[in-house]
Structure 1
């Protein structure tokens, strides 16, 4: 049975995956809604949403992925999540549009994969 610290870390990983999913949904919905209907651009394209989302992703990844890396000493979750956060940060530097959405979706996918790798039990090679 996992100890309390492992359970807390797993909750952070799950929260990170959920946040990444919401971010991807936001990107797709923004492109579709603003492009197709011209609605919600002032709110959905707000830079504050993207900055807050990246800040939350950084905090959750730092706790969950960092904690996991210290515990199980595997580089893959950490490297994968950091690559994803780099894509997400790069997306902030781009003008709104499909390029920004693509970078963000690549980033959140990589961060989610990092969290999933972090959740996998450590298996020692024989």
Structure 2
């Protein structure tokens, strides 16, 4: 018993929401950690900011992103969206695996940029599915006329 095309379309919408949410959590983490450290230096030992946390967040973003983008790309074939996804993921993964090799300000700029790009890519991917009248009935996108 397979999954219906309508169920797949609904799953794609939910994974894009989850992906945008995961990227948004990363964004909030990146922006708020320096603020919390500045305002409450005693909270530093309790903040999730070590290398393992960054790598875990990056892996979660990668997995959720793949679950959302791969099915969407197979239907819509938007190469510009694929480029946004690649750039956003590359920035997030570089920051997560660079460790202390980059300055905190560079780390902040790259991770915030990557997160914003991924949030935008998820919302764009979702907008293609919302505009497509056939996504719930077939694997052929009526917006782009591609298989």
TM-score range, shorter chain: 0.7 to 0.9
Is 2:38 the partner of 1:38? no
Residues in 1 aligned to 2:77 and 2:89: alpha-carbon distance in whole angstroms = 20
Q: Point out which structure has higher relative CO (alpha carbons under 8 A, 6+ apart).
A: 2
Residues in 1 aligned to 2:82 and 2:121: alpha-carbon distance in whole angstroms = 6
User: Could you tell me how far 1:23 is from its partner in structure 2?
Assistant: 0.8
Q: TM-score of the superposition, structure 1-length normalised? A: 0.87
SS at 1:44 equivalent: coil
The match for 2:105 is: 98
Q: TM-score of the superposition, structure 2-length normalised? A: 0.76
Which of 112, 117, 132 is matched with 1:110 structurally? 117
User: Could you tell me how far 1:20 is from its partner in structure 2?
Assistant: 1.0
User: Bigger CA drift: 26-35 or 95-104?
Assistant: 95-104
Query: Any gaps of 5 or more consecutive residues in structure 1?
Result: none
RMSD, matched Cα? 1.9
Query: Any gaps of 5 or more consecutive residues in structure 2?
Result: 133-142
* Aligned residues of 1:65 and 1:77 also touching (Cα < 8 A): no
